[in-house]
Chains A and B, each alone.
Chain A
Amino acid sequence: EDQVTQSPEALRLQEGESSSLNCSYTVSGLRGLFWYRQDPGKGPEFLFTLYSAGEEKEKERLKATLTKKESFLHITAPKPEDSATYLCAVLNNAGNNRKLIWGLGTSLAVNP
């Protein structure tokens, strides 16, 4: 069964304390892996798409990487405004039955 698991569920960091969020997946062929940021009560905001193992994408303090089994979202020197829930989603490569599978997210709090 296709599955996406994010860890940790919650993470609290001090401002400037770098860390990584994990998204591990088991799918029948990977078509793409997506990272989103969601602020409380708002819709998810698209961050990155990764398509193949070894690929990396960067945006400000965020860097996403991809292997054949997992993706990491590295946060370098985070600021309080980086506090949000980060969602990972994986699109399987199942032809007409392809499907986007969502993880439950990692809730990140960055203290000043």
Chain B
Amino acid sequence: EAQVTQNPRYLITVTGKKLTVTCSQNMNHEYMSWYRQDPGLGLRQIYYSMNVEVTDKGDVPEGYKVSRKEKRNFPLILESPSPNQTSLYFCASSLYGEAEGYTFGSGTRLTVV
């Protein structure tokens, strides 16, 4: 089944403890992206990647890192999480870029206390 898989689905952590949210797609998509979704603010792009070793900032990149060493994987790293990073996170992918519909993962609900 064609899909984007995120892990974990739920995570509660403490301020400052480094964490990684994994994202993997099995569709050979070149484009991958991370979003956060907050009530009243909607979906906001964190980082995106046009292909392996090519990443760029979205609208809200502060406090996040990404890497794209393999085509299928695009992990999101929070080096020192803070409470304002409590949110619902989505990974998305498409074959070539923003001009196509995205396939989204099921989401990761992160709480930083």
Cβ contact within 8 Å between A43 and B90: yes
- A89 partner residues in chain B, CB cutoff 8 A: 43
Q: How far is the CB of A7 from chain B (nearest CB, A)?
A: 14
Cβ contact within 8 Å between B99 and A32: yes
- B106 near A: Cβ within 8 Å? yes
Contact with B104, one of A45, A47, A98, A102 (Cβ below 8 angstroms): A45
Cβ contact within 8 Å between B98 and A91: yes
Do A42 and B107 contact each other (CB < 8 Å), given the known contacts A31-B99, A91-B98, A98-B98? yes
- Complex formed: what's the CA distance from A103 to B99 in Å? 17
- B100 near A: Cβ within 8 Å? yes
On chain A, the number of residues with a Cβ less than 8 Å from chain B's Cβ atoms is: 23
Do A42 and B106 contact each other (CB < 8 Å), given the known contacts A32-B99, A49-B101? yes
Q: How far is the CB of B105 from chain A (nearest CB, A)?
A: 5
- Complex formed: what's the CA distance from A63 to B105 in Å? 25
- B103 near A: Cβ within 8 Å? yes
Do A34 and B101 contact each other (CB < 8 Å), given the known contacts A43-B90, A100-B45? yes
Q: How far is the CB of A64 from chain B (nearest CB, A)?
A: 12
Q: How far is the CB of A52 from chain B (nearest CB, A)?
A: 13
- B42 partner residues in chain A, CB cutoff 8 A: 87, 102-105
- B102 near A: Cβ within 8 Å? yes
Interface residues of B in 38-96 (CB under 8 A from A): 40-45, 90, 92
- A48 partner residues in chain B, CB cutoff 8 A: 101
Interface residues of A in 12-64 (CB under 8 A from B): 31-32, 34, 36, 41-49
Complex A-B, nearest 3 residue pairs according to Cβ-Cβ distance, in ascending order: A43-B104, A46-B101, A102-B43
Write 24 A-B pairs (CB below 8 A) sorted by A numbering: A32-B99, A34-B101, A41-B107, A42-B106, A43-B4, A43-B90, A44-B90, A44-B102, A44-B104, A45-B104, A46-B102, A46-B103, A49-B100, A87-B42, A87-B43, A91-B99, A99-B98, A100-B45, A102-B42, A102-B43, A102-B44, A103-B42, A104-B41, A105-B42
